[in-house]
Amino acid sequence: MINCIIVDDDKADRKHVENIVGQVKYINVVKTCGKLSDAKNLLLKQPIDILFLNIKAPGKNGIGLLEDLSYDRPGIIVTSNTKDVACEAYDIDADDFILKPVTVPRLIKSITKALTIKNRDEKQETQSHHNIFIRVGKHSVKVALKDVFLVEALADYVHIYTTSKRYTIHATMKAMERKLPQKDFIRVHKSYIVRIDNITGVKRESLSLDRKTIRISNTYRKELMERLKVI
């Protein structure tokens, strides 16, 4: 099942897209939103495959929202009543643009395209064991995993600490756990993921990295001890 959300400030257009999507059996509409902020909160809480976005929705614009979604970004299909918005869709790296009214054949074509791109990108990520890409502003930055020693949660953001820089991105710890290779990284607290070979010492309630001391929670302590082969 493909999960999607629909963001459109026009109630009638939003309902029309929902009805069209409802005719495709393998798509599940998780939520329809009139505000981008509602969509962002949902995207941070659970994996979403497709986002149908009216880029002219009120409040923070679509470009700003997608810049915030630095990790686990869904496939983006922009919908609009005007062709001029196609240029803005290109600017935010949307997978496709649909000129309203939305029809079932056009919808299926866009979904197929978006999922093909998403699956290709995920396959490339899986095949790469040395780097991750994170979105900084309008650009994607390649970060070498060997340089990452700590990921720290901060509300709806995470700090990614490397040997030379700290990146702050909009993501969840669950998303980071899915993306980081398990053989190299381990979660030791609800707020911390560490690179195992950067651990230099372990105490009952904390561990030391090359550059930092952090807490360990009882929930993750047993697995940590097993992974470290403590004798």
- Where exactly are the structural domains of the chain? 2-127, 131-228
Is there a contact between 5 and 42 (Cβ–Cβ < 8 Å)?
A: yes
The full length of the chain comes to: 231
How far does Cα 17 stand from its chain's mean position? Answer: 24
pLDDT at 54: 86
Q: Are strands 75-80 and 50-53 parallel, antiparallel or unpaired?
A: parallel
> In terms of Cα–Cα distance, which of 187, 214, 217, 183 is closest to 200?
214
Please list the ranges in the chain whose pLDDT falls under 50.
Answer: 58, 60, 127
Overall fold of domain 131-228: OB fold (Dihydrolipoamide Acetyltransferase, E2P) (2.40.50)
Instruction: List the alpha helices (DSSP H) in 143-201.
Output: 173-179
Strand partners, 74: none
Report the distance separating Cα 20 and Cα 40, nearest Å.
Answer: 23
pLDDT at 80: 87
pLDDT at 41: 74
- Under 8 Å CB-to-CB from 163, ≥6 apart: which residues? 147, 149
* CATH architecture designation of domain 2-127: 3-Layer(aba) Sandwich (3.40)
The torsion region of residue 101 among left (phi > 0), alpha (psi -120 to 50) and beta comes to beta
DSSP 8-state class, residue 22: H
User: Across the beta sheet with 166-170, what order do the strands follow?
Assistant: 166-170, 157-162, 148-154, 192-195, 185-189
Is residue 136 helix, strand or coil? Answer: strand
List C-alpha distances in Å: 102 to 11, 15, 34, 39, 58.
14, 11, 17, 20, 21
